[in-house]
Structure 1
Amino acid sequence: MTSGAARVSAFAGLLDQPLSRYIPGNAPTATVKLLEKDLGITTVGGLLDYAPRRYIRRGHLQLLSDLIAGERTSFVARVESSSTRRMQRDPRRSLTDVLVSDGTGASLKITFFNAYTAQKELPVGTHALFTGKPELYRGYLSMTGADYAVVDTPDSVTDFTSQSGEVYPIPVYPERGKLTTPRITRAVQQLLLTADLDSLTDPIPQHILERETLVGLAQAYRDLHRPESVDAFQAVQERFRYQEAFVLQTELARRRHEHASQPVAERPARADGLLSRYDAALPFTLTDGQQAVGEQIRAELAGTAPMNRLLQGDVGSGKTVVALRAMLQIVDTGGQAAMLAPTEVLAQQHYDKIVTSLGPLARPDQLDGDPDGTKVVLLTGSLPTAAKRVALLDIASGAAGIVVGTHALIQEKVQFADLGLAVVDEQHRFGVEQRDALRDKAGHTPHTLVMTATPIPRTVAMTVFGDLDVSTLRELPGGRRPIHTHVVGLAEHGPAWERRVWALAGEHISRGRQVYVVAPKIGDDAALPPFDSLRGSLLAAQEAGDDGDGPEPATVQWLERLISAQPELRDARIAVLHGRQDPLVKSETMNRFAAGEIDVLISTTVIEVGVDVANASLMIMVDPERFGISQLHQLRGRIGRGEHESTCLLVTRSDPEHPGRERLAAVAATTDGFELAEVDLRLRREGNILGASQSGRKSGLRWISALRDEALVARAREDAEAVIAEDPHLARHTELLAAIGRVVDENSQAFLERG
């Protein structure tokens, strides 16, 4: 077997070299130390991959005395003074005036709007290259909103200037600590001079470079840091966008191939088994989507390659039924299936739902049970010691065919007799190690089914979950009633609308229905403001505090007092639910609500996942702008689960111009989770679509856009699959293997292991 060291290519050889070899001397060496300290960059590749955050567009380099109104230009000048003032028309906004001169006796005032960055980066004495368009104002030239790049001296800008005086695009790097753009620029330019970039071997195969008309790797690095034109940089973007997609998709394809090559026992469905008997007793008809996904899973469980599937479906789309049918197929072959849930409340609900839906099939050891059924066991941390001991014995002996639990399932003392299927519900709530620990319980590779009720845009799914086969449920089972969602803006509509909110809650209760009230925070009794002084009103409470982003968010504890004081709700049975409560208290409260013993449940987002109460027909979210779109959609999905018409009220005290209002309007406009996922991605401008890696470090994409690059990612995926099909271990693509190693290191690979 070829060693890792022997497989390191020229690509890895240069790019993995320490920077100190290529940036000698005292001052550059100090920069090398800062790059390691402030950015974690220690290698040639690390610095070459540190892309500028923007470029200043080229202009003709001129003296201030030669500037012409209306003509875009560039000049080097020194900051002589800087002052910031509030705008008279809008005191929330500010202006920063910077006076600059170039040593010829000429000066120019440059005004920046709301420019905290300019105020910080352009103190008196700073030299910078400015680019913009001067205009005449009251007979004098001035400039508004210039681009700029700080330089060490007026002469240092000549590095980016042609013989004719034309300025190339100037890179501006993300700065941190003492690492300013000039300092980073000097280090990069030194590296470009000393490193033999032409010796690099490209990780992208030549035929793909030609098909995609991509610039080569060496030239791409040169044009990234020293582009001679905007076109050159655009070519660099195309190059690195494809490379990022291709490298990640190759690693995902490699993982898929490796997983598929681990044989598992065939577990075909039985014509006379539990699955067929369960299907025959179903009181409803499976949706077309449930049937289609069920057939996919049935075939994969019967095969010799381990299933590794992501099942995504909107709130209430019937994922649990699909998962249970898969578990029954495993049990029919003598194996065991385990479902891992993120909370005890959800684990209990899954257990209750499975036991209820199986009926006699879940009670093989009871008089009213079916002797040919299977035992269903619940294992959670709060289970009494005696009950836990019995559950552990049932799991170890194989008496329990289906096991439902929380993190308690992955404790060392839990041993399975024959774990054939691991089901992970709400997979985004678990760390990689936790899911791996459950699969390790099998002693071999089990089939894996991970589920999410948060719809995932296609590009994100291909990138984040590319090592999984993805199934999607889009239909809702029959009987689900539509949820009517309304934004209740108290800032513009006043106390009358607030009174109507509580009156509506009373009307639902009078008809025998139940109500959720959701708050962003739990609250603290000791920190509660005097209730009487707030006059029992959300609007009156608005002045009680301001955290800089509107009113102090509503809390569960304060809302309990507020709701209890409403005339329409004084006789209502009210309870609270939040994460600080003892697990037994939470379970008891939820069970009482499900049993109809509580009229109004005031809760934090602990009800977001899985809680199913068909009689709840009204949800009131207070200060909902504090939540994201997917969370709002998940919360809303707790109602509309029965036969009753359901309503969701998004009660906000924020101003109509508040940025969170756009999210609320989007949620009110549709109940389609897939549509909302696209809106969410667009409103958040993607951010870090991969999230923070579960090792605690970010693993975001630098070049790919989930909003723009679906076709590119799809092409890269096809190319990656072709490479892995011919060379599964990348023995003939050592430069690509090295590229994967640099991108997917031990600290950033967690996002690739979500399956």
Structure 2
Amino acid sequence: MDPETSTHQSELDQPVTELAGVGDAMAAKLARLGLDSIADLLFHLPLRYQDRTRLTPIGQLRAGQEAVVEGEVTACDVIQGRRRSLLVRLKDATGILSLRFYHFAPAQAQQFARGSRVRLFGEARAGSTGLEVYHPEYQLLSATVERSADGEIEESLTPIYPTTEGLTQMRLRGLIAQAFKRYEAHPGSLPELLPEPLRERFSLLALNDAIRYLHHPPPDASLDQLAAGTHPAQRRLAFEELLAHQLSLRQVRSRIQRDTAPLIKGGDGLKARFLAALPFSLTGAQRRVLAEIDRDLEREIPMLRLVQGDVGSGKTVVAAVAALSAAAHGYQAAVMAPTELLAEQHYKSFRAWFEPLGLDVAWLAGRLKGKQRLDAKAAIEDGRAQVVVGTHALFQADVRFHRLGLAIIDEQHRFGVHQRLALREKGEAAGITPHQLVMTATPIPRTLAMSAYADLDLSVIDELPPGRSPVKTVAVADNRRQEVIERIRSACSEGRQAYWVCTLIEESEALESQAAEATLAALEEALPEFAIGLVHGRMKASEKSEVMAAFKAGELDLLVATTVIEVGVDVPNASLMIIENPERLGLAQLHQLRGRVGRGSTESFCVLLYHPPLSDHSRERLAVMRETNDGFKIAEKDLELRGPGEVLGTRQTGLMGMKIADLVRDRPLLEPVHRLAAELVDSHPRSVTPLIRRWLGEEANRYGAV
């Protein structure tokens, strides 16, 4: 990049306060929209457009039509009706139109002198005086002043931008116009970072052309194409943004893999003893994924692998075998889970498996206090604990590992990139870069995984253990609640167990807990012959664990719970699940919940107890749940219906901040972007960091992409 371009680029990197009329208060409003620099304004694209490029005669106006109209004021009166309003009458050679203002100042009423000319834009509606326009944008065209540029008809479509409280469209347009003036004063101020041969290969517009077009489309632009986000100018910017995100994650991967990781080869004797003691054989898919993990561990390059497996596919056993490999070579393995409930279940499983093999397993979570916590930390620090299981407490500053060789992160979508990196740094503190194994039971469509997890290799456990029966799912209206209760009575009478899951639309643990408590009281009254337990998010972790242990031991017939049981709870005797208000949950979450049953050989059922009437959207989602148990098909539908934020989890850094690209709409671009990222790193490395900085800014620094 030449010095002149660098200077110009820094011109657009100036804060928005460098623009006329932007003080601290306006800067704060712009910051709410993510607009901190002058360049940010250029990449702040319109939501939609209005056509103000032609005058419409008043006589041709129709109700519901948005148009530019010009006319002469014939009357201006304050009307004292049910709501006080300012009524202005306009005429042209073809008809009469009323302008109505409910919020106005006395000075405004004086502006509309009889005989003055007004040009306005707004939507015509049927009103008490005929066609009326409420609170139009308008300009006074004084007959005594020669018409200036302000009085001319727009030459391009008028952009409508995303905005925030206290920031009008006119003000925002004015600031973007200022940004354009600076941009045009320095032709190289936004350098073209995609080499021309690559642009030609993918038929991409030049950056400057795309930005100018999207802020000022010509009158003949296709509004339908722009609204759909499929115009070549939009495609150009979406392509570059997706490429920047892909490059950022590749940079993270590259930086990690420059370091040396432990060489973990063999340990077959310990693994063989473990597998021989299991009451089941591994599936072909589990063995295939373990072979992929072994190949990674046998190199001194840090493993970065994501293991996807549908509910019940046996990811925990795969993680256990990987942990044994590390322990066999004198390294520690850390297993991190997002909730204490899941972490404690992993701890109990690993301890039951590993202690007979002579391995010590430690447990660390937020609720561990005093001497117990100090003892656990000491065992982790001096290496007595060969396997450590816990929550995010594992990467707190006061926790030190002796020789962390493998970090296993369960339910990755609940964590972010930063938290994965923080756990890696625990190993580096002892001079070791640990291998990373990331697991998720949320199936992710392949194209989305390529974008969200470009820093990870992908393994898929695409086979369920033998003997697992598919869960049969039915949707039942909640006015048939009594029938559902009878179904529970029948199942529990036959010695099986059931879940009743309560959900609320509000994001409130308190309200959700109240709903669960009310449901518990109602079910205790309806089913007095059965033992019923309760688990919700406001209970202490020890209380939740106690109830779950009782349910797993068969001491409880029915468990009333909130979505806190979504992941990790394994009770093979549970064969019936009721999910109340399923229309309030996403498909991925419903699939996770449903996966709590069907874990044994007994035929299992899931009842979706919905509240009618259902919207078409909700009906479509519940139909998907009835039709398939395939997590990947469900994830594809969830992506289509709710978008990537819900499928991946909002903490998956680097995706939720997309400015222009849409991972659903722009899915056709993901494959070429994936290929191009590798090519750009090899052939045009100088473009990589500027691209990442342009689109991710400070976010790139936070997780080491630049």
TM-score (norm 2): 0.83
Q: Is the contact made by 1:554 and 1:623 (CA closer than 8 Å) also made in structure 2? A: no
Q: CA deviation at 1:609?
A: 0.9
SS of residue paired to 1:309: strand
TM alignment of 1:513-662, pairs within 5 A: 513-520=496-503, 555-566=515-526, 569-657=527-615, 659-662=617-620
Measured in 2, the distance between the counterparts of 1:277 and 1:53 equals 61
Change (3 A) 1:665 1:389: same
Matched, 1:342 2:338: yes
- In the alignment, the residues of structure 1 paired with residue 263 and residue 418 of structure 2 have an alpha-carbon distance, to the nearest angstrom, of 27
State whether structure 2 residue 632 is matched by structure 1 residue 674: yes
Compared CA separation, residues 650 and 38, structure 1 to 2 (3 A): closer
8 Å contact 2:250–2:455 — kept in the other structure? yes
**Matched position secondary structure for 2:690:** helix
Measure how far apart 1:681 and its partner are: 1.9
- The answer on 1:296 being equivalent to 2:296 is no
1:35 and 1:179 in contact (8 A); partners too: yes
Instruction: Please tell me whether the aligned partners of residues 76 and 102 of structure 1 are also in contact (alpha carbons under 8 angstroms).
Output: no
| Displacement of 1:70 | 12
> Taking every aligned residue pair, what percent have the same amino acid on both sides?
36
Q: 1:553 to 1:578 in 2, by over 3 A?
A: closer
Structure 1 residue 512, shift from structure 2 partner: 0.4
Q: 1:37 to 1:383 in 2, by over 3 A?
A: closer
- Go from structure 1 to structure 2 and tell me whether the alpha carbon gap of 1:51 and 1:119 turns closer, same or farther (over 3 Å shift): farther
Is the Cα contact below 8 Å between 1:129 and 1:151 reproduced in 2? yes
d(CA) in 1 for partners of 2:596, 2:649 = 26
User: C-alpha deviations, 1:172-204, integer Å up to 9, x for none?
Assistant: 112223321122222223432343352232121
What does 1:9-408 correspond to in 2, within 5 Å? 9=6, 12-19=9-16, 23-24=19-20, 33=27, 36=30, 39=33, 41-57=35-51, 60-65=54-59, 67=60, 74-76=67-69, 102-104=90-92, 106-108=95-97, 128-130=120-122, 150=137, 168-195=156-183, 196=185, 198-199=187-188, 200-228=190-218, 229-230=220-221, 234-271=231-268, 273-356=269-352, 358=353, 362-363=354-355, 369-370=356-357, 373-383=358-368, 385-408=370-393
Distance 1:227 1:204 in 2: 23
Instruction: State whether residues 426 and 452 of structure 1, in contact with CA within 8 Å, keep that contact through their aligned partners in structure 2.
Output: yes
Q: Contact 2:588–2:634 at 8 Å: present in 1 too?
A: yes
Give the whole-Å Cα distance in 2 for the aligned partners of 1:157 and 1:28.
29
State the Cα deviation string for residues 210-264 of structure 1 (Å, max 9, x = none). Answer: 2222222222221121122426962311210111112211222222222221111
Residues 458-537 of structure 1 correspond to what in structure 2 (within 5 A)?
458-490=446-478, 494=479, 497-520=480-503
- Within 1, Cα distance between the matches of 2:302 and 2:136? 55
- Deviations along 1:667-724, one digit per CA (max 9) or x if unpaired, are 22222221111212222255687765689x9942232222232331221222121222
Q: When the two structures are superposed, what TM-score results if normalisation uses the length of structure 1? A: 0.78
Amino acid at match of 2:523: I
Q: Alpha-carbon deviations, 1:63-97, whole Å to 9, x = none? A: 314x28899984236999999xxxxxxxxxxxxx9
Paired with 2:633 and 2:308, the residues of 1 have a C-alpha distance of 14
The letter of the residue matching 1:274 is: L
Alpha-carbon RMSD: 4.2
Given that 2:418 and 2:702 are in contact with CA atoms closer than 8 Å, whether structure 1 keeps it comes out as no
Give yes or no for contact 1:254–1:724 (8 Å, CA) kept in 2.
Answer: no
CA distance in 1, matches of 2:697, 2:102: 39
One-letter amino acid of the structure 2 residue matched with residue 312 of structure 1: Q
Distance in 1, Cα, partners of 2:272 & 2:102: 71
Report the Cα offset of residue 6 of structure 1: 8.5
Give the counterpart letter for 2:96 in structure 1.
S
For 2:569 and 2:32, locate their aligned partners in 1 and report how far apart those are by CA, in whole Å: 45
Report the number of matched residues.
Answer: 667
Task: Give, in whole Å, the separation in 1 of the partners of 2:187 and 2:3.
Answer: 21
AA partner of residue 265 (structure 2): P
1:575–1:598 contact (8 Å) kept in structure 2: yes
Q: How does 1:433-448 map to 2 (within 5 A)?
A: 433-442=418-427, 443=429, 444-448=432-436
SS in 2 for 1:310: strand
Counterparts in 2 of 1:19 and 1:81: CA distance versus 1, 3 Å: farther
Q: Secondary structure at the match of 2:438?
A: strand
Task: Go from structure 1 to structure 2 and tell me whether the alpha carbon gap of 1:484 and 1:98 turns closer, same or farther (over 3 Å shift).
Answer: farther
Q: 2:672 aligns with which of 715, 721, 724?
A: 715
Pair 401,5 (structure 1): closer, same or farther in 2 beyond 3 Å? farther
SS of equivalent to 1:403: strand
Paired with 1:710 and 1:388, the residues of 2 have a C-alpha distance of 47
Can you list the C-alpha shifts for 1:296-331, whole angstroms capped at 9, x where unaligned?
A: 110001101101111122111111111111111111
In 1, Cα distance between equivalents of 2:398 and 2:252: 29
Alpha-carbon spacing, 1:607–1:160, altered in 2? closer, same or farther (3 Å): farther
- The answer to which of 193-202 and 419-428 deviates more is 193-202
| 8 Å contact from structure 1 (residues 609, 634) kept in 2 | yes
Within a 5 Å distance, the mapping from 1:449-460 to structure 2 comes to 449-460=437-448
The Cα shift of 1:607 comes to: 0.9
* Pair 1:5–1:575, CA change in 2 (3 A): farther
Instruction: Supply the AA of the counterpart residue of 1:430.
Output: F
* Distance of 1:650 and 1:705 partners within structure 2: 31
In 1, distance between residues paired with 2:447 and 2:186?
Answer: 32
Instruction: Give structure 2 stretches of 5+ with no counterpart.
Output: 80-84, 113-117
**Separation in 1 of the partners of 2:88 and 2:459?**
61
SS in 1 for 2:622: helix
Provide the C-alpha distance between the structure 2 equivalents of 1:710 and 1:338, rounded to a whole number of angstroms: 35
| Conserved? CA contact 1:64–1:75, under 8 Å | no
Letter in 1 for 2:330: G
Question: Against the structure 1 CA distance between its residues 153 and 694, is the aligned structure 2 distance closer, same or farther, given a 3 Å change threshold?
Answer: farther
**CA 1:28 to 1:564, structure 2 compared with 1: closer, same or farther past 3 Å?**
closer
Q: Indicate if the aligned counterparts of 2:411 and 2:440 stay in contact, CA closer than 8 A.
A: yes
Cα 1:210/1:574, change in 2 over 3 Å? same
Write the distance in 1 (CA, Å) between the matches of 2:343 and 2:702: 25
Q: Name 1:541's counterpart in structure 2.
A: none
What displacement does 1:335 show? 1.0
The residue type equivalent to 2:121 in the other structure is L
Cα deviation, residue 611, structure 1: 0.5
Q: Deviations over 1:142-169 (max 9, x none)?
A: 69xx99984555799997999xx78532
Match of 1:535 in 2: none
CA distance in 2, matches of 1:688, 1:484: 25
Q: Please tell me whether residue 737 in structure 1 is matched to residue 694 in structure 2.
A: no
C-alpha contact (below 8 Å) 1:252/1:752 kept by paired residues: no
Cα distance between partner residues in 1 of 2:150 and 2:703: 39
Q: Contact 2:576 / 2:606 at 8 angstroms: preserved in 1? A: yes
CA distance in 1 between counterparts of 2:424 and 2:534 reads 36
The answer to whether residue 650 in structure 2 is matched with residue 700 in structure 1 is: no
Contact 1:127–1:151 at 8 Å: present in 2 too?
Answer: yes
Does the 8 A contact of 1:338 with 1:404 survive in 2?
yes
Structure 1 residues 513 and 34: CA distance shift in structure 2, 3 A: closer
Contact 1:514 1:616 (C-alpha < 8 Å) held by counterparts? yes
SS of match in other structure, 2:476? strand
Q: Deviations over 1:722-748 (max 9, x none)?
A: 222356xx4x33xx5233224223357
C-alpha distance after superposition, 1:357-378 (max 9, x if no partner): x3xxx23xxxxx45xx422222
